[in-house]
Amino acid sequence: MIGSFLKRIGVTLSLNDPQWGRGSKNSNQDDKKSPDTPPDLEQIWKDLNQRLNRFLGQKGEGGGDNGGNFNSDPVNAKIGVGAIVLVFLFVWMISGVFIVQEGQTAVITTFGKYTHVAGAGMNWRWPYPIQSHEIVDVSQVRTVEVGYRSNVKNKQPRESLMLTDDENIVDIQFAVQYKLKNAVDWLYSNRDQDEMIRQVAETAIREIVGKSKMDFVLYEGREKVASDVGTLMEQILTRYKAGVQIANVTMQGVQPPEQVQAAFDDAVKAGQDRERQKNEGQAYANDVIPKARGEASRVLQEAEGYKSRVVANAEGNASRFKQVLNEYQKAPAVTRDRMYLETMQQIFASTSKVMMDTKAGNNMVYLPLDKMMSQSESGSTKSSTINQPSSSAQPSPLNEQIPTIEMRNSREENRSREGRESREREVR
């Protein structure tokens, strides 16, 4: 385009000529130049001025080198100026076209004042100096570091050291990730936005940590502290109209200061030992206490059973005594004899040896009941094991002795009964 314009105005350039623009070596040979020799720069400039003047409607009079008087042509001048203005306006209007990428927003200002927002795609605004635009990336996740820079080891003590509610100092490093939700507020509501976000984050965490205990911040309360910091930052940034949405708060490091790290580790170990011993004691108590409670319950139940048995026996004895008393009042002699016989029966049932005294003489009769019973049991066992028809034909001497003993006992009982009856008659 530039080459065609230069050709149109009659300027020919030879860019490959090493002597281009330097003129000839001999000034007396100017008229004898070859057609391929380029003119010097001064001559080119003069020719260019003459041709521009003709293009703008001015006609020259007189010699070319001596200057001369130029007369203006109004028609050509207007056409030339109009063409230049149109070209300038076209280029100026084209300069207002801009492209916004996906995930970005363009903020348009008119004479420095916000007017509207342009979305993704090709957009147009009035060119400078009427309007201008600034593109803001609203989809990017931005990060602000508090207490460190780029690396956890690169600490910033003025930001990381904080005082807890129990008057202890903790060293906290954390990062805040955020996105933009309003590009206009982000650009025009605050100055130095990243530093503002960092100061808000530091303010929020100092408030949260100042209301918490040291152990809570160091151990079980890390996630709770991060969540509370994010919520408080949202509230503060909303009041500031920062146009920011907090995405995440990440705790990078929470520890006591380096100067007291060794002493703090010892205190932590002592606390762990205390908890371990408490757990062991609790486990021992959980093992012993249920056993003791079970033993106590068993003893109580046994005592209740013994109590119930004794009371029942006493009540039964009392009831039986009342019944015996009623029967005794009805027939004293019969009741007395029956009681005597029942008592003797109980005594003889638990006795294996019986001594008897006869009235005829002073001889004592000894009855080996235990041996007799054992012999009878052994004989019955043998008779049951031997399956013979004649096994029960002959009576044993023990069987012969048992009826004799029963007869003697019946005779003794009759005699004793007759003696008691005679004594009762004498008493009456």
When computed from its CA atoms, the radius of gyration of the chain, rounded to whole angstroms, is 66
What would the pLDDT profile of 91-109 be if each residue is shown by its tens digit? 888 888 888 888 888 998 9
Return the residue matching tokens 């281009």: 20
Distance CA 402, CA 396 (A): 10
For the chain, the 3-state helix, strand and coil shares in percent, each to the nearest 5, are: 55, 20, 25
Model confidence at 348, in pLDDT bands (50, 70, 90)? confident
Neighbouring residues of 85: CB distance < 8 A, sequence distance ≥ 6 = none
Distance CA 205, CA 211 (A): 10
Q: What is the DSSP letter of 26?
A: -
> Rounded to a whole number, what is the distance in angstroms from the first to the last CA of the chain?
173
Residue pair 249/190 in contact (Cβ under 8 Å)? The answer is no
Model confidence at 354, in pLDDT bands (50, 70, 90)? low
Element holding 248 (H helix, E strand): strand 244-255
Mean pLDDT of 382-402: 46
Distance CA 23, CA 39 (A): 6
Range with lowest mean pLDDT among 73-77, 207-211, 231-235: 73-77
Return the pLDDT at 74.
65
SS3 102: coil
Q: Is 204 exposed, middle or buried (0-12, 13-18, 19+ CB in 10 A)?
A: buried
HSE, side-chain direction, 13 A CA sphere, residue 394: 4
Neighbouring residues of 176: CB distance < 8 A, sequence distance ≥ 6 = 143, 144, 145, 146, 197, 201, 230, 233, 246, 248, 249
What would the pLDDT profile of 136-195 be if each residue is shown by its tens digit? 888 889 999 998 888 878 888 888 899 998 888 899 999 999 999 888 889 888 888 889
Model confidence at 26, in pLDDT bands (50, 70, 90)? very low
Structural domains in the chain, sorted by start: 2-94 (no CATH), 97-137 (no CATH), 142-256 (3.30.479.30), 352-383+395-413 (no CATH)
What would the pLDDT profile of 42-65 be if each residue is shown by its tens digit? 777 777 777 766 666 555 544 444
Distance CA 123, CA 105 (A): 11
Nearest to 41 by CA among 67, 20, 63, 26: 20
Q: Alpha carbon of 147 to those of 22, 157, 170: distances in Å?
A: 67, 7, 12
Return the pLDDT at 264.
79
Residue 288 has pLDDT above 60, yes or no: yes
Q: Alpha carbon of 252 to those of 128, 218, 264: distances in Å?
A: 47, 12, 20
Model confidence at 323, in pLDDT bands (50, 70, 90)? confident
Residue 389 has pLDDT above 80, yes or no: no
- The whole-chain average pLDDT of the chain stands at 76
Return the pLDDT at 411.
58
- Whole-model pTM: value is 0.49
Model confidence at 37, in pLDDT bands (50, 70, 90)? low
Range with lowest mean pLDDT among 183-187, 219-223, 389-393: 389-393
Report the sign of the C-alpha dihedral through residues 299, 304, 307, 313, in that order. negative
Neighbouring residues of 248: CB distance < 8 A, sequence distance ≥ 6 = 176, 177, 230
Residue 387 has pLDDT above 50, yes or no: no
Return the residue matching tokens 């982000």: 186
Distance CA 257, CA 146 (A): 16
Higher pLDDT, 84 or 206: 206
Q: What is the DSSP string of 139-197?
A: S--EEEEESEESEEEEE-HHHHEEE-TTS-EEEEEEEEEEEES-HHHHHHT-SSHHHHH
The DSSP bridge pattern shows strands 131-137 and 142-146 to be: unpaired
Range with lowest mean pLDDT among 381-385, 387-391, 410-414: 387-391
Residue pair 80/52 in contact (Cβ under 8 Å)? The answer is no
